[in-house]
Amino acid sequence: MNAVAKTYQKGEIPGLIAIRASACKGCDACQRYCPTGAITGSFGATHGIDVDLCLSCGQCLISCPFDAVYETDDAVDQVIANLRDKSVSVVGIIAPAVRVAIGEEFGMKTGSLVTGKLYGSMKKAGFEILDNNFAADLTIMEEGSELISRARHAVFGEKSAHGEPIGPLPQLTSCCPAWVRYVETQCPALIPHLSSAKSPQQMAGTVAKTYGTKVWNKPASQIFTVGIMPCTAKKFEASRPEFTSAYEFNKKQNRETGPAYPDVDVVLTTRDLARLFKKMKIDLAKEADYSPDILFAEYSGAGTIFGNTGGVMEAAVRTAYAVLTGEELANVEFKPVRGLKGVKSASVTLKDAKYGKDVTINLAVVHDMARNIKPIVDDVLAGKSPYHFIEVMNCPAGCINGGGQPIDKSGSSWVEAIRPLFAWK
């Protein structure tokens, strides 16, 4: 996130979400779920998408009653080709929300936790496994430590140990790429408030192509990283031109002389991965459980809860408590930030062992940006926000309801219920 100036400028963004004019009924369902007003077209008329405003979040896609909205990016065949190339190590970076959703694509009960079967299916397909929960643990250590640095700077005037600038409060989370893009395009004055920590996906890609070269005994140019995400915006995130950290590091270490490569080569959504398995004749529901014996599959519960709204905040509270007090939190469940309320708030008072004083941190958790983000942003911009740390996830309930998750076709959803109303067109 440090090189914002290198990111996409107006007119350069590849449109990842589009609308089929032949299928669109102009029902406005997509507009209700768009945080930026990127959907164009009047009620009853064919709609379109302004790619410069679009966050690639995919909420319009999963909310469209007529399957008119679709992804323009399809990397399934590219991944399969790399899986069949024995000179390449294909590393699958699996997000936590995928394991409780992909089973639906194979006839399993909605919400089934299929971690073992997912690992087994990926092994059978030829993937190396780097669980994104591992990288989520890295993220929260960075993000939590940064919050402490900002708080100590604000309260005690503490300077940075390495001389880098300390950002202002409130600190805003940076793991949701749709939210980060919202800040950049809608309220760029808030960019300094964003955590400098990359998302778990981008940390994982960097780790895979640096430390991972020793694990898989391959140069980074022969490691093909695949984000496996519940989120269409992760495809946009992986394409951002500033995310070439592994290449830049390897070049400085004289390990790389070839052309630059991205930290994450491609991203597959949950739906994409299901299609990949089916193309490769792999039935996830019938696969035996598998547990990979690798450091990259080790993770804590804090990493796992990243997939739900409030999960990042809860993990941050645990980290801040341990660092500030020098003790582990006795009850690791921080329930005030759980649940599906649009905006949740809480306060926690911790004794800073370094300074011998109590520090109260005010927290906020926001999800479903289309409905809930504006008042929070307006307060921060006006300098009136009561919060020190704000977690934001674009999608309702967080990543678990991302734009890349399975779409319910059972007829029980509101989408299916209103479909007959538009049968005239």
Task: State yes or no: is 234 an active-site residue.
Answer: yes
Reply yes or no on whether the pLDDT at 421 is more than 50: no
Residue 87: name the closest of 241, 219, 267, 207 by CA: 219
Residue 188 CB partners (closer than 8 Å, separation 6+):
none
Q: Output the pLDDT for position 61.
A: 94
Residue range 304-315: average pLDDT? Answer: 72
Percent of the chain with pLDDT over 90: 60
Residue 275 phi, psi dihedral angles, 5° rounding: -65, -40
Reply yes or no on whether the pLDDT at 104 is more than 50: yes
Note whether residue 79 is domain-resident. Answer: no
Residue range 297-303: average pLDDT? Answer: 68
CA distance 412 to 286: 27
Q: Output the pLDDT for position 5.
A: 45
Calculated CA dihedral for residues 211, 95, 302, 362, nearest 10 degrees: 110
User: How many structural domains compose the chain?
Assistant: 1
Beta bridge partners of 40: 48
Q: Output the pLDDT for position 349.
A: 84
Note whether residue 411 is domain-resident. Answer: no
Number of other CB atoms surrounding residue 303 within 10 Å? 23
Q: Residue 422 class from Cβ within 10 Å (0-12 exposed, 13-18 middle, 19+ buried)?
A: middle
Candidate from 199-208, 280-289, 298-307, 335-344 with smallest mean pLDDT: 298-307
List pLDDT tens digits, range 140-155.
888 888 988 998 998 8
Residue 393 sits in a domain of what CATH number? Answer: 3.40.950.10
Residue range 254-282: average pLDDT? Answer: 94
Selected catalytic residue, list 71, 104, 105, 143: 143
Q: Output the pLDDT for position 164.
A: 79
- How does the average pLDDT of the chain come out, rounded? 87
Number of DSSP helices (H) and strands (E) in the chain, helices first: 15, 12
Task: State yes or no: is 237 an active-site residue.
Answer: yes
Note whether residue 338 is domain-resident. Answer: yes
Q: Output the pLDDT for position 2.
A: 38
Reply yes or no on whether the pLDDT at 424 is more than 50: no
Residue range 344-372: average pLDDT? Answer: 89
Answer whether 48's CB lies under 8 Å from 40's CB. Answer: yes
Task: State yes or no: is 142 an active-site residue.
Answer: no
Q: Output the pLDDT for position 190.
A: 96
Q: Output the pLDDT for position 303.
A: 57
Task: State yes or no: is 143 an active-site residue.
Answer: yes
Selected catalytic residue, list 54, 60, 175, 176: 175
Q: Residue 91 class from Cβ within 10 Å (0-12 exposed, 13-18 middle, 19+ buried)?
A: buried
Task: State yes or no: is 333 an active-site residue.
Answer: no
Q: CA end-to-end span of the chain, whole Å?
A: 45
Of 337 and 75, the structure prediction assigns the larger pLDDT to: 75
Of 420 and 406, the structure prediction assigns the larger pLDDT to: 406
Note whether residue 78 is domain-resident. Answer: no
Selected catalytic residue, list 71, 104, 237, 287: 237
Sign of CA dihedral 277, 282, 288, 290: negative
Residue range 264-271: average pLDDT? Answer: 97
Calculated CA dihedral for residues 24, 29, 33, 37, nearest 10 degrees: 60
For residues 25-45, one letter each, b for 16 or more C-beta atoms within 10 angstroms of the residue's C-beta and e for the rest, the string is: bbbebbbebbbbebbebeeee
Q: Output the pLDDT for position 339.
A: 74
Q: Output the pLDDT for position 423.
A: 42
DSSP string, 155-179: HH-PPPTTSPPPPPSSEE----HHH
Q: Which helix (H) or strand (E) holds 253?
A: none
Q: Which helix (H) or strand (E) holds 289?
A: none
Note whether residue 373 is domain-resident. Answer: yes
Q: Output the pLDDT for position 8.
A: 67
CA distance 25 to 231: 25
Number of other CB atoms surrounding residue 215 within 10 Å? 17
Reply yes or no on whether the pLDDT at 420 is more than 80: no
Note whether residue 321 is domain-resident. Answer: yes
Q: Which helix (H) or strand (E) holds 142?
A: helix 132-156
Reply yes or no on whether the pLDDT at 416 is more than 60: no
Selected catalytic residue, list 56, 121, 149, 195: 195
Task: State yes or no: is 279 an active-site residue.
Answer: no
Give the pTM: 0.89
Selected catalytic residue, list 117, 234, 235, 344: 234
List pLDDT tens digits, range 13-32.
778 899 999 999 999 999 98
Residue 148 CB partners (closer than 8 Å, separation 6+):
320, 323, 324
Note whether residue 336 is domain-resident. Answer: yes
In the chain, the amino acid numbered 74 is: D
Q: Which helix (H) or strand (E) holds 324?
A: helix 311-325
* pLDDT bucket at 306, cuts 50 / 70 / 90: low
Reply yes or no on whether the pLDDT at 45 is more than 70: yes
* pLDDT bucket at 254, cuts 50 / 70 / 90: confident
Report helix, strand or coil for 17.
Answer: strand
Beta bridge partners of 144: none
* pLDDT bucket at 393, cuts 50 / 70 / 90: very high
Residue range of the domain that includes 355: 167-195+308-398
Answer whether 34's CB lies under 8 Å from 59's CB. Answer: yes
Selected catalytic residue, list 242, 251, 278, 300: 242
Task: State yes or no: is 71 an active-site residue.
Answer: no
Selected catalytic residue, list 146, 287, 314, 391: 146
Task: State yes or no: is 195 an active-site residue.
Answer: yes
* pLDDT bucket at 325, cuts 50 / 70 / 90: confident
Report helix, strand or coil for 70.
Answer: strand
Beta bridge partners of 75: none
Note whether residue 106 is domain-resident. Answer: no
- Structure token digits, residue 152: 């100590």
Q: Output the pLDDT for position 3.
A: 38
